[in-house]
A and B are shown apart, each in its own frame.
Chain A
Amino acid sequence: MNELEVDQLEVDLGGRPVLRDINLRLDRGELVGLLGPNGAGKTTLLRAILALTSIRSGRVLVGGKPSRPGRCEIGYVPQRHEFTWDFPISVEQAVLSGRTGRMGLFRRPGVADWRAVGAALDRVQLTELRRRPVGELSGGQRQRVLVARALALAPRILLLDEPFTGLDMPTQELLGDLFMSLAGAEHAVLMTTHDLVAAVDTCSRLVLLNGRIIADGHPADLQDAALWTTTFGVSDNSPLLKLVKAI
């Protein structure tokens, strides 16, 4: 059984078709990169997997059961701008907020919650900064806070939306290593990115998406230029293709 299974998924937004004929499988130990141009439907696909958007047809199975909000199997790392960074809250409290749904209404955090927060902070190497206000972190540190917040639920699946955007190379590498080690530790990781280099370097599989899935395979098997020109709508002499050939 696959950890995540997307069958014949179709999604409309504002009366327009956004995703069609999406079939995707994800297993533990995999780190899959989701590539596609702006507006391709990457974020929409993640939201559909989380059951945050209504789907027209098809189904999403998580651990064999239909996905619905509040299931702890999925850790979600939205884009950094979704988070209110000027909120007066420390790093560890921000990570703890990831467990709000699990704790249940009217409950206060207990020992298990703080343990999970500690483990998540360790995992992303933020333990030293745990008392720092979130507003005083760099972009890379912020991204790690969001990853830790998702990990605080001890999920089996991790969905990351553009974790590399706006980060410099050393930070990207650090995060890439983190995602690879999470995949190595039996997580199923799916991340969207616009960073081809980082994706090729870290991912075990790439999925090219533009409304539908155009290709799905190991980076080395995606050498065919036609796949990339179709996905991104670029011409035959685009720099993108030179980059692909260099893979």
Chain B
Amino acid sequence: MSITDFLTDLFNPNLAFLPKALAIAVMSSIVCGVVGCYVVLRGMAFIGDAVAHAVFPGIAVAFVLQGSLVLGGAVAGVATALLIAIFSQNRRVKEDSIIGVFLVGAFALGIVIISQAPGYAGSLQQFLFGSITGIPDRDVYVVGGAGLVILGLVLALHKEFVAVCLDREMSRSMGLPVFWLDIVLYVLVTLAVVISLQTIGNILVLALLITPAAAARLLTDRLGVMMLLAPVIGGSAAVIGLYLSWSYDTPVGGTIVLIATAVFLAAWLLAPRHGLLAKRWRRVGAARPPRRHRQRLPGRSP
């Protein structure tokens, strides 16, 4: 399918779900890209995973009660994020085991709840792998509004988040509210995950959080640049992924994630300073003396 066909479909009133899906996918990728920078730099990927799973029972309840899925997920996710933040303050408790137990438990709860709803198999598939149909109009505004709130908070608290990432001990001594900053960050991660669930699905949402930020990290040593690059990578992956998924009838979440993964691999190979090829190239350059120098080596001239 050509780009023009895709554009025609986008504006086709009979396919009204398509622009909605595109808007939500792009907005959530941008938000995930920005928030994901903190997740990557702090090594919080596991917490992102836990939250993504813990959101599931909330969504299941919302589904059974016919409520807003975004809202149901947000409530369950935030509750989990708070619990994790509280547990992880006490560094003597092995937090990763607690998170591990908890996320699988929450997921199991979600499966049991959703099995109570008639015809759940199709919905289950939708939750797990994402879908571009069946998105209510309201959700576009909910996602847009939530996205703006998240980005606003990131902008407002950026220097505090950076300080805590850099050095918790020093941050405490400066009188920063480290515990509350942790909670706010976890809640932001949760909200970013929740607004992305619709299109990407529960299983793959972690990729939206981690992959663009990790690719951006490979491309730059400057935090500001990284936090601009990551949403650009995520947003582009969403557009290209949706286009390909629409053209070739592939699952949308999987396609978007594959595009993001391809960008990551390309960055890993081609990054200007730390990429594999740049390193290889530098090593070759260092092993071979410069040309002029070589010609002057003694005993070589005829």
A residues whose Cβ falls under 8 Å from a Cβ of B: 50, 52, 68-71, 74, 76, 78, 82-84, 87-90, 93-94, 97-98, 100-103, 105-106, 108-109, 133, 135, 149
Selected contact of A97 from candidates B41, B162, B220, CB within 8 Å: B162
Residues of B within 8 A of A74 (CB): 173
Q: Is the CB of B175 within 8 A of A69?
A: yes
Q: Is the CB of A89 within 8 A of B166?
A: yes
Q: Is the CB of A78 within 8 A of B167?
A: yes
A87 and B165 alpha carbons, distance in the complex (Å): 8
Q: Is the CB of B157 within 8 A of A105?
A: yes
Given contacts A88-B222, A106-B156, contact A52 B166 (CB under 8 A): no
Residues of A within 8 A of B159 (CB): 97, 100, 103, 108-109
Residue picked from A76, A108, A135, A149, most chain B C-beta under 10 Å: A76
Given contacts A87-B41, A100-B160, contact A76 B170 (CB under 8 A): yes
The residue on A at minimum CB distance from B158 is A108
A-B contact pairs, 22 of them (CB 8 A): A52-B169, A52-B173, A68-B175, A69-B174, A70-B173, A71-B175, A76-B169, A76-B173, A82-B169, A82-B170, A83-B166, A88-B221, A88-B222, A88-B223, A89-B223, A97-B166, A98-B170, A100-B162, A101-B171, A105-B156, A108-B159, A133-B222
A71 and B173 alpha carbons, distance in the complex (Å): 8
Q: Is the CB of A84 within 8 A of B165?
A: yes
- In the complex, given contacts A87-B166, A88-B223, what are 6 additional A-B residue pairs having Cβ atoms less than 8 angstroms apart? A69-B173, A88-B220, A89-B162, A89-B166, A89-B223, A101-B163
The residue on B at minimum CB distance from A99 is B174
Q: Is the CB of B172 within 8 A of A82?
A: no
Selected contact of B221 from candidates A78, A103, A133, CB within 8 Å: A133
Residues of A within 8 A of B157 (CB): 105-106
A105 and B173 alpha carbons, distance in the complex (Å): 15
The residue on B at minimum CB distance from A68 is B175
A133 and B222 alpha carbons, distance in the complex (Å): 8
Q: Is the CB of A82 within 8 A of B173?
A: no
Residues of A within 8 A of B222 (CB): 88-90, 133
The residue on B at minimum CB distance from A101 is B174
Residues of B within 8 A of A90 (CB): 222
Residues of A within 8 A of B165 (CB): 84, 87
Residues of B within 8 A of A76 (CB): 169-170, 173
A98 and B167 alpha carbons, distance in the complex (Å): 10
> Nearest chain B CB to A25's CB is how many angstroms away?
21
Q: Is B83 part of the contact surface with A, judged by Cβ < 8 Å? A: no
Given contacts A88-B220, A88-B223, A89-B162, contact A100 B169 (CB under 8 A): no
Q: Is the CB of A52 within 8 A of B162?
A: no
A-B contact count (CB 8 A): 84
> Nearest chain A CB to B234's CB is how many angstroms away?
18
Residues of B within 8 A of A135 (CB): 221
> Nearest chain B CB to A114's CB is how many angstroms away?
13
A68 and B159 alpha carbons, distance in the complex (Å): 22
Residues of A within 8 A of B174 (CB): 69-70, 98, 100-102
Residues of A within 8 A of B172 (CB): 52, 69
Residues of B within 8 A of A100 (CB): 159-160, 162-163, 171, 174, 176
Residues of A within 8 A of B173 (CB): 50, 52, 69-70, 74, 76
Residues of A within 8 A of B53 (CB): none
Given contacts A69-B175, A100-B176, A133-B221, contact A149 B170 (CB under 8 A): yes
Q: Which residues of B in the span 11-51 have a Cβ within 8 Å of any Cβ on A? A: 41
Residues of B within 8 A of A68 (CB): 175
Q: Is B226 part of the contact surface with A, judged by Cβ < 8 Å? A: yes
> Nearest chain A CB to B210's CB is how many angstroms away?
16
A70 and B166 alpha carbons, distance in the complex (Å): 17
A77 and B205 alpha carbons, distance in the complex (Å): 39
Residue picked from B41, B160, B221, B226, most chain A C-beta under 10 Å: B221
Residues of A within 8 A of B170 (CB): 76, 78, 82-83, 97-98, 149
> Nearest chain B CB to A14's CB is how many angstroms away?
8
The residue on B at minimum CB distance from A149 is B170
A18 and B283 alpha carbons, distance in the complex (Å): 52
Residues of B within 8 A of A106 (CB): 156-157
Residues of A within 8 A of B220 (CB): 88
Residues of B within 8 A of A78 (CB): 167, 169-170
Residues of B within 8 A of A82 (CB): 167-170
> Nearest chain B CB to A58's CB is how many angstroms away?
19
> Nearest chain B CB to A151's CB is how many angstroms away?
13
> Nearest chain B CB to A210's CB is how many angstroms away?
23
Q: Is the CB of B41 within 8 A of A101?
A: no
How would residues 51 to 95 of chain B score, 1 for a CB under 8 Å from any chain A CB and 0 otherwise?
Answer: 000000000000000000000000000000000000000000000
